[in-house]
Amino acid sequence: MPKTAEKIATFLAEHHLLSLATSVNNQPQSASLFYAYDADQQLFIVASDKKTQHIQNVMHNPYVSGTVALETDEIGKIRGLQFKAKMEAIDDEVGRLYYQRFAYARVMKPQLWSIVINEMKFTDNRLGFGKKLQWKREF
């Protein structure tokens, strides 16, 4: 795994909540979702009901963006990820990583979704003020 992807995977393993942005007909929607991160495939696995507005949007427009951020008041410790991705429904077998991280969720039988990342920008001020690492999926 390249160093940039490795640094990002380490950061994402330390967190569990992402902010997701969707849009249909110029109407934005956001949501906070628990995630499991698959570092090998550079994708998030999340659970969400088809009735939610953000998933209704995804069913019309699967292209999403989002963030994962460390909350801190110390400028030198700021770290956060911005991503652009494509989201789609997956089955429980593909989403088993989600249940490994959130075992209690299995009893709720949620719909699982993959968020396949196409681009990431990771800011890590510990590496230098405003230091950004970029990653793009190669097609």
Residues 15-35: pLDDT tens digits? 999 999 999 999 999 999 999
**45-65 pLDDT, tens digit each:** 999 999 999 999 999 999 999
Give one DSSP letter per residue of 69-105, joined into a string: E---S-GGG-EEEEEEEEEEEE-TTTTHHHHHH-GGG
Please provide the CATH number assigned to the domain covering 3-136: 2.30.110.10
Token duo for residue 99: 């249940």
- Give CA–CA dist 10/93, Å, rounded: 24
